[in-house]
Amino acid sequence: MKMVEKVLITGGAGFIGHMFIKEILDNTDYEIISMDRLDYSGNLNRISDMMKSYSATEQKRLKVIHHDLKAEINNLVASQIGEIKHFFHIAASSHVDRAIEDPMSFVMDNVVASCNVLNFSRQLDNLETFVYFSTDEVFGPAIDGVKFKEWDRYNSTNPYSATKAGGEELAIAFHNTYDVPVIITHCMNVFGKRQHPEKFIPNTVWKALNNEKVIIHADSSKKTPGSRHYVHVEDVANAVLFIIENKEQVQNTSKDEHGAKCTKVNIASSLELDNLEIAKLIGEYLNTEINYELVDYHSSRPGHDLRYALDGSVLRELGWESTNSSKEGLEEVTKWYAENKDWLRF
Ranking 131-140, 302-311, 330-339 by mean pLDDT, the lowest is: 302-311
pTM for the whole structure = 0.94
CB-hemisphere CA count at 13 Å for 276? 13
> Does the structure show a pLDDT above 60 at 239?
yes
pLDDT at position 300, please?
57
Round to whole Å and give the CA distance between 316 and 306. 26
Residue of 193, 189, 210 lying closest to 202 (CA atoms): 193
* pLDDT of 302: 66
Q: Which of 84, 131, 101, 92 is nearest to 303 (CA)?
A: 101
* 96/343: higher pLDDT: 343
Mean pLDDT score of the chain: 93
29-61 pLDDT, tens per residue?
Answer: 999 999 998 877 778 899 999 999 999 999 999
Tens-digit pLDDT profile for residues 64-119: 999 999 999 999 999 999 999 999 999 999 888 889 999 999 999 999 999 999 99
Task: Confirm if 189 and 199 have CB atoms less than 8 A apart.
Answer: no
Q: Is the distance from CB of 327 to CB of 278 less than 8 angstroms?
A: no
pLDDT score of 25: 97
Which of helix, strand or coil describes residue 52? coil
Question: Where in the chain are the domains?
Answer: 6-191+230-267, 200-228+271-308+324-341
Is 200-228+271-308+324-341 in CATH node 3.90.25.10?
A: yes
**Band of pLDDT at residue 254, cut at 50, 70 and 90:** low
Q: Is the pLDDT of residue 1 over 70?
A: no
The reply to whether 6-191+230-267 and 200-228+271-308+324-341 are identical in fold is no
Q: Using the predicted structure, report yes or no on whether residue 297 has a pLDDT greater than 90.
A: no
Number of H helices, E strands in the chain: 15, 12
**What is the model's pLDDT at position 121?**
97
> What integer pLDDT is reported at residue 4 of this predicted model?
81
Per-residue pLDDT at 95: 84
Q: How confident is the model at residue 255 (pLDDT cuts 50, 70, 90)?
A: low
Position 252 pLDDT exceeds 60: yes
How far is the C-alpha of 119 from the C-alpha of 321, rounded, in Å?
34
Whole-number Å distance between alpha carbons of 290 and 284: 9
Identify the sign of the CA torsion 249, 253, 256, 257. positive
Does the domain at 6-191+230-267 match CATH 3.40.50.1820? Answer given as: no
Where are any strands of DSSP class E within 80-157?
86-89, 129-135
DSSP secondary structure letters along 239-263: HHHHHHHTHHHHHHHS--TTS---E
Closest CA to 63 of 139, 7, 144: 7
Could you say which DSSP state residue 302 is in?
T
User: 3-state class of 183 per DSSP?
Assistant: strand
Of residues 174 and 253, more confidently modeled? 174
Using pLDDT thresholds of 50, 70 and 90, give the confidence band for residue 234: very high
pLDDT tens by residue, 197-226: 999 999 999 999 999 999 998 888 888 898
CA separation for the pair 105, 85 (Å, rounded): 30
Asked whether the beta carbons of 303 and 157 are under 8 A apart, the reply is: yes
| Proportion of the chain above pLDDT 90, given as a percent | 82
Question: At 328, is the pLDDT very low, low, confident or very high (cuts 50, 70, 90)?
Answer: very high
Please tell me the total number of residues recorded for the chain in this structure.
346
Asked whether the predicted pLDDT for residue 257 surpasses 80, the reply is: no
Q: Which amino acid is at 151?
A: W
Q: Which phi and psi (to 5°) does residue 315 adopt?
A: -70, -35
What pLDDT score was predicted for residue 2? 61
Q: Indicate the pLDDT class of residue 299, thresholds 50, 70 and 90.
A: low
